[in-house]
A and B are shown apart, each in its own frame.
Chain A
Amino acid sequence: MIAVLRRCLPAWLLVLVGLWSAPASAEHHVGTLDTVGSDTMAGLILRWGELLSEHYPGLRVQLQVAGSASAPPALTAGTTLLGPMSRPMSEEERQAFVDRHGYPPREIVVARDALVVVVNRHNPLSSLARREFDAIFSETHYCGAERGIHQWQALGLDFPAGPIVLHGRNAVSGTHGLFRREGLCDGSFRPEVNEHPGSAAVVEAVADDPLAIGYAGLNHLTPGVRALALRDPEGRLHEPTPLAVRRDDYPLARDLRIYVNQPPGEVLPVAERTFLELVLSVEGQAIVEEMGFVSLPAASLARQRRILQPTRDET
């Protein structure tokens, strides 16, 4: 309920992490760094900021959460050097940045996330094919179903009996867009889908109703719901397990990124640099797991670190 409340508040959310304290030992580790962007990643950034202030009491993170779409304009305008986003930057957004600064933003992947289809914990359904998802959720059936599935019996279940009750995110969210592209083959959702302001609300609604099905972010799973495995056309099942998400073996996995405004040949200010080092450290990745996302393997962490080298040429 608190999670829902939080999401219903106006999109402006200003969070201050850490306190100014006497910078005695780490003289040069002093400063405030701003981030503007994704609300999916708000909790992550917040926890990373706490970790940062623990290690370097002079540093603090200031976080503005207004959705992924708010990151590119802030980066372009120069109001922030770090822009967390739960989706890749679009070509237009990248071009606007290049036009202003003369070089592209650096993109580092900081964690993996997945979107899951959830049903009530009493629901015996274990897997879903994309065609079935489309038949349940869309009115267009672009993925090839002949007609819609509106009853649980049509999926071959004895229980629950009755109409399928649909829950989802509202149209402005990235989750909604991704499911529309991947799950509905670019079709459109049925107007019967209950639109909730946040993934937590979707999960809560599904947990309340045995007839419900919905889609949400992996980190919002609760004991009241079960995430379904996705069945590909060959009949293989893809469970949303951390391993499958990390290996890209789960179709609805995605990267969580931070876009960095770092001119070629220069290093970032100390606050930003320290923060990103921490994010890509073992400790930082432990926080990723703790928040319900999936951490990156060591090899790809090293690759992300190389992206931040000052000498790296951007193409």
Chain B
Amino acid sequence: MHDSSSSPLLRRRLRQGRDRLATALITAGGIGVIAAVMAIGVFLAVEVLPLFWSSSPGEPEVSLASLWLPQPYPGLDEPVYRWQPALPEGEPGPRFSLAPLAWGTLEAAAWSLVIAVPLALGAAAHSALFMSRRLRAHIKPTLELLEALPGVVIGFLAGLVLAPWLERHLGLGLTLLLLLPPGLVLGGALWSRLPGRVRQRLPLGWSALWLLPWLLLLWGLANGLAPWLEGWWFGGDLRTWLAAHLGLDYASRNAIIVGMAMGFAVMPTVYALAEDALSGVPKSLAEGAQALGATRWQTLWRVVLPAAGPGVFSAVMIGAGRAVGETMIVLIASGNTPLMTASPLDGLRSMAASIATELPEAAPGGTHYRLLLLAALLLFVFTFLVNTLAEVVRTRLRRRYRRLGGTP
């Protein structure tokens, strides 16, 4: 009672104090994160720099040319790219070319995007524009949940289940690849021929569900066709045929396997971001287009997609950033062969996988150690640039939506 006059003042003071404390903590946290990120970059740069201007005795010389251009080695006929870091004592120096690792990293990322982007964007467009609200409420969180699946799990499934399976069922894999796209188009065509009453039972918004049996049917068909196709077209065994006619050796751990596994890992990210961008396009635009007589497809292709273009682009960029930095999947599913071939049926070795396997064994301060940190620095710079680009584009998109009168 007696402090009733001072209590509001006291409380305000207290609240202001708390606010200030919270502000300080948040600021400190923000600055801390930025400082940590910069510290990582600075640490890597400091560790890498001695590589180029001071060489320690007994360590192999490294130059820009030796890292990125083919080198002559004893015992080989012509200059080649080689990453062979650990040689026994008393051997002519180790072979340090970063080119095959950089190639492997980019190849793995490229194949995973080739596989993930069409699927993720297709799924995003479908669930943002065509899918029934009720189904979308279930499907979207499920797909986004997949993002939490650890890379090591996907890697193991790819390396120890998918790779041996595909190796044994190469013909089936090819048949599926040939059969699925036309099969799905055929499914759509059949649906549009159905009588109206049946079509009402199978609305477009629920096609994700009622297409499943159709997919199983196609799978069964492919299963029946595969031996026939392999026998008739490829002389019994696709793998032998590839080797004999195209000169392609099928390595059981190859770029396609990595692409499939990493594509699977990247897909939820790309999907979630692209979906947000597409469903964030102000409804007035799509409705206006449809009111003017545009079909669903025209609305998507000519109106919604261009409006959300930057968001979709940044989704793909962030997917690329993740694919480049992903370690466990490439480590397990790629065979770790430092090759520089364009064939997607060959193995590859990425920078991240090399860092993971070799850094614990490399002597700190040695050339091998510094080269691995250089690879880390390259990865860091690359993902940093890609993510920054994606973020800039996204911010711009948000501003555009606000101008157009959208909600987000």
Contact between B251 and A192, CB atoms less than 8 A apart: yes
Contact between B339 and A90, CB atoms less than 8 A apart: no
Q: Which residues of B contact A192 (CB under 8 A)?
A: 249, 251, 337, 339, 346-347
Contact between A194 and B240, CB atoms less than 8 A apart: no
Contact between B86 and A171, CB atoms less than 8 A apart: yes
**A162 CB to closest chain B CB, in angstroms?**
5
| Separation of A96 and B74 alpha carbons in the complex (Å) | 33
By size class, the interface of chain B is: 35 or more
From B248, which residue of chain A is reached at the shortest CB distance?
A163
Q: A162-B243, A171-B358, A194-B347 are in contact. Are A209 and B164 (CB under 8 A)?
A: yes
**Pick the contact of B88 from A4, A170, A177 — CB < 8 Å?**
A177
Q: A191-B338, A192-B339 are in contact. Are A181 and B167 (CB under 8 A)?
A: no
Contact between A191 and B243, CB atoms less than 8 A apart: no
How many A-B contacts if CB must be within 8 Å? 99
| Separation of A186 and B331 alpha carbons in the complex (Å) | 27
**B150 CB to closest chain A CB, in angstroms?**
13
Contact between B339 and A191, CB atoms less than 8 A apart: yes
Q: Which residues of A contact B112 (CB under 8 A)?
A: none
Number of residues from A at the complex interface, CB < 8 A = 42
Q: A90-B89, A139-B76, A191-B338 are in contact. Are A162 and B239 (CB under 8 A)?
A: yes
Contact between B84 and A171, CB atoms less than 8 A apart: yes
**Pick the contact of A191 from B82, B85, B152, B250 — CB < 8 Å?**
B82
Q: Which residues of A contact B196 (CB under 8 A)?
A: none
Q: Which residues of A contact B74 (CB under 8 A)?
A: 140
**B145 CB to closest chain A CB, in angstroms?**
24
Contact between B252 and A188, CB atoms less than 8 A apart: no
**A224 CB to closest chain B CB, in angstroms?**
11
From A187, which residue of chain B is reached at the shortest CB distance?
B75
| Separation of A191 and B73 alpha carbons in the complex (Å) | 14
**Pick the contact of A8 from B73, B88, B332 — CB < 8 Å?**
B332
Q: A170-B357, A171-B84, A172-B357 are in contact. Are A191 and B100 (CB under 8 A)?
A: yes
Contact between A194 and B82, CB atoms less than 8 A apart: no
Contact between A165 and B357, CB atoms less than 8 A apart: no
Contact between B249 and A163, CB atoms less than 8 A apart: yes
Instruction: Tell me whether chain A's interface is mostly helix, strand or loop, or mixed.
Output: loop
**Pick the contact of A186 from B91, B160, B239, B346 — CB < 8 Å?**
B91
Does A189 lie at the interface of the complex (its beta carbon under 8 Å from any beta carbon of B)?
Answer: yes
**Pick the contact of B243 from A163, A181, A195, A204 — CB < 8 Å?**
A163
Q: A171-B85, A187-B75 are in contact. Are A195 and B167 (CB under 8 A)?
A: no
| 67-110 of chain B: CB within 8 A of chain A | 73-76, 82-89, 91, 95, 100
Q: Which residues of A contact B3 (CB under 8 A)?
A: none
| 135-185 of chain A: CB within 8 A of chain B | 139-142, 150, 161-163, 165, 170-172, 176-177, 180-181
Does A205 lie at the interface of the complex (its beta carbon under 8 Å from any beta carbon of B)?
Answer: yes
Does A208 lie at the interface of the complex (its beta carbon under 8 Å from any beta carbon of B)?
Answer: yes
| Separation of A189 and B336 alpha carbons in the complex (Å) | 13
Contact between B251 and A172, CB atoms less than 8 A apart: no
Contact between A172 and B361, CB atoms less than 8 A apart: yes
Q: A170-B357, A197-B357, A208-B164 are in contact. Are A165 and B252 (CB under 8 A)?
A: yes
From A190, which residue of chain B is reached at the shortest CB distance?
B337
Contact between B336 and A194, CB atoms less than 8 A apart: yes
**Pick the contact of B337 from A90, A191, A209 — CB < 8 Å?**
A191
9 A-B pairs within 8 Å (CB atoms) are namely: A4-B160, A186-B91, A188-B82, A191-B83, A191-B338, A192-B346, A194-B253, A209-B167, A211-B239
Chain A residues engaging chain B, CB cutoff 8 angstroms: 1, 4-5, 8, 10-11, 67, 69, 90, 139-142, 150, 161-163, 165, 170-172, 176-177, 180-181, 186-189, 191-197, 204-205, 208-209, 211-212
